[in-house]
Amino acid sequence: MSDPSSPLNPDSSPSGNTPAPHKRRPRYAGKNPRRFEEKYKEHNPARYAADVAKVLAAGKTPAGSHRPIMVAEILDVLALQPGEIAVDCTLGFGGHSRELLQKISPGGRLIALDVDPIEQPKTTARLRDAGWNEAVFTSVRSNFAGLPKVLATLGLLGGIDAVLADLGVSSMQIDDPARGFTFKSDGPLDLRLNPSRPPSAADWLARISEEKLAVALKENSDEPYAELLARELTARRESAPFTRTQALADAVREIIQPHHTHPDEDAQDDCVRRVFQAIRIAVNDEFGVLDLFLRQLPGCLKPGGRVAILTFHSGEDRRVKHAFREGVRAGIYSSTNDEVVRAGPEERRANPRSSSAKLRWAIRA
């Protein structure tokens, strides 16, 4: 007879008396939950594959995940071979990394960078569980502008064969209201890729001058109402500082609504998106990081090494295009694409977040 107090007895409790009551997992609040925290089925795709498949079939991205963009086009550009060394500068959910690992195996090695302390360990664990050990897959917590230092630390001073950088914000960050990237659900106005590095968007917006805010809105998102928004937002923060995403979104809509001949909710939301984009770029110094990365990139590639970069708005794309074209003129790169590569119609239908993506590539001379 088994000992009822034994820890191996499923009916035992810590006190050795009556078993602890079973706690059910919180159920969906209705058939189609909207809150990120309730979408546990999409967070466990292996167990709820059918549910996730329905989300994908509807042309949506399951909450808490990310769909890699232009995979076939990227693989065609990078032309990876078994045994080569590649870098994924923006690990994200790991979709691109999985594809790169398949192409460089056997004998190859992938180094993946990501600055996000929340998502990077999750993705690293998923890829380890998929069978990619440290000898094949090295995950490093780093901004992609730190690539030269990472390669030096790993003893790869001779350069690498291929580099991929997907500059888009990941769906996991957008979907989680606690990260403050979305105005669809209320959350703290944060917008940091690395939440441990100040300032948050709320702190930045509380201190920025009207003039500098207008410049950020123009340069980071081509916002046509930049001066108006800068003047009104800096005036309103004096009485009610912006600390929540929906409060900022509501203020932006109120400011621009009188200036629309035909009030249009979609147009107002587009303006809100541009404001959030501009602040996010400023808070994370995204253009400064990209400029440094582009300057350092040629020295990280072997002769004949390939680089592919996915951009998602004009400020990023201009920088990449100019760097690659100047590199060709200077003899640093042997070639680059004249016409930008975009996702095909089928991918844009299946994954609307791919619609704004632009792919540029270059080959080291």
β-partners of residue 359 are 310, 341
pLDDT exceeding 70 applies to what percent of the chain?
A: 81
The span from the CA of 237 to the CA of 265, in Å, is 24
Supply the pLDDT for residue 38. 56
Place of tokens 């550009």: 77
Tokens 């001066």 found at: 227
Give the strand order in the sheet containing 301-311.
137-141, 109-114, 85-88, 160-166, 301-311, 358-364, 333-336
| Model confidence pTM above 0.95 | no
From the candidate CATH numbers 3.40.50.150, 3.20.19.10, 3.90.660.10, 3.50.30.10, the one assigned to the domain spanning 71-171+287-364: 3.40.50.150
The CB-side HSE value for 149 (13 A sphere, CA atoms) comes to: 10
DSSP 258: G
pLDDT in tens, 116-163: 999 999 999 999 999 999 999 999 999 999 999 999 999 998 999 999
The helix or strand, by DSSP H or E, that contains position 353, with its residue range, turns out to be none
pLDDT in tens, 239-269: 999 999 999 999 999 999 988 665 567 788 9
Torsion sign, CA atoms 148, 151, 156, 162 = negative
Q: What is the pLDDT of residue 24?
A: 58
For the chain, domain boundaries: 71-171+287-364, 195-283
pLDDT of residue 55: 54
The more confident residue out of 233 and 34 is 233
Give 74-98 pLDDT, tens digit per residue.
999 999 999 999 999 999 999 999 9
CATH superfamily of 195-283: Putative methyltransferase TM0872, insert domain (1.10.150.170)
Q: What is the pLDDT of residues 306-363, one digit of tens each?
A: 999 999 999 999 999 999 999 999 999 999 999 999 999 999 999 988 999 999 999 9
* pLDDT score recorded for residue 48: 57
Which two tokens mark 187? 């959350």
Question: Which is more confident, 81 or 31?
Answer: 81
Asked if residue 364 lies in contact with residue 301, where contact means CB atoms within 8 angstroms, the answer is yes
pLDDT tens-digit map of 187-241: 999 999 999 999 999 999 999 999 999 999 999 999 999 999 999 999 999 999 9
What amino acid occupies position 123? T
Check residue 317 and give its pLDDT.
97
Question: ∠ CA(52), CA(310), CA(304), 5° rounding?
Answer: 125
With beta carbons less than 8 A apart as the criterion, state whether 272 and 184 touch: no
Of residues 63 and 145, the one with the higher pLDDT is: 145
Note the pLDDT of residue 15.
Answer: 44
Binning pLDDT at 50, 70 and 90, where does residue 14 land?
very low
Which residues are CB-neighbours of 70 under 8 A, at least 6 positions away? 310, 341, 343, 347, 354, 357, 359
